[in-house]
Amino acid sequence: MNVTTLKPLLAKNRSWALQRRQRNPNYFEKYLHQQKPHSLWIGCSDSRVPAEVLTGSHPGELFVHRNIANMVVANDDNLLSVLQYAIFYLGVKRIVLSGHYGCGGVQAALNLPESPLADENSALARRIATLRNDLKHGLTALSASNENEMVKLNRLVEANVIAQFSHLVAVEPVRKAWQSGQELAVFGCVYDLQSGHLKELIQQSAEEPLP
């Protein structure tokens, strides 16, 4: 694809839209005046993990937030505003937090402080440092392991999902929804790039005491 022009993307867009209308002439009418997604997806920005594609979803079914390594940071206004809008205005009943095997963000956290990112005074470097702190217990366990690097990384990806899940169920919008009796289930999943399968690791559907 020629990356110096938008024409290839526009052509694919027109082709996709035409195919949808040929299959269903009213395909784009359903959510023309409103959106009513059933789920909020919080995932990694990795281009190989498009939420709508891997879940077979159509426009209007998922509200999506993606960032490096699917992180949940309590002072991230972008994420918090997405959560508030999805829960209280769109009324989603499900939040899916999804990591994926082969995550470059988790790999970078694993390689700190040797990673070049450690020397950069940038938002990305700070983000990876925060991620490494979230994973400190998993990193300690892996340091004593004799498993190969791929297995270690996969285990760390799962540990990251669990860590970010614990942050997610503790943030104010989620707890407020549960306290008010709003129906809301939160799931932590991991996506396998090799098989294309999504696996559930953890779930919670009501408020529990903070540790």
Backbone angles phi, psi at 63, to 5 degrees: -100, 130
94, 103, 132, 189: which is the annotated catalytic residue? 103
20, 21, 23, 44: which is the annotated catalytic residue? 44
Q: How far apart are CA 63 and CA 81, in angstroms?
A: 12
Check if 48 is active-site: yes
48, 58, 126, 197: which is the annotated catalytic residue? 48
Q: How far apart are CA 140 and CA 142, in angstroms?
A: 5
Only one residue has tokens 């205005």, namely 89
Cα-based torsion angle of the residue sequence 10, 11, 13, 14 in order, rounded to the nearest 10 degrees:
120
Check if 189 is active-site: no
65, 94, 100, 132: which is the annotated catalytic residue? 100
Check if 134 is active-site: no
Task: Give the orientation angle of helix 136-143 with respect to helix 149-168, to 10 degrees.
Answer: 160
Check if 132 is active-site: no
Check if 126 is active-site: no
Just list the catalytic residues: 44, 46, 48, 100, 103
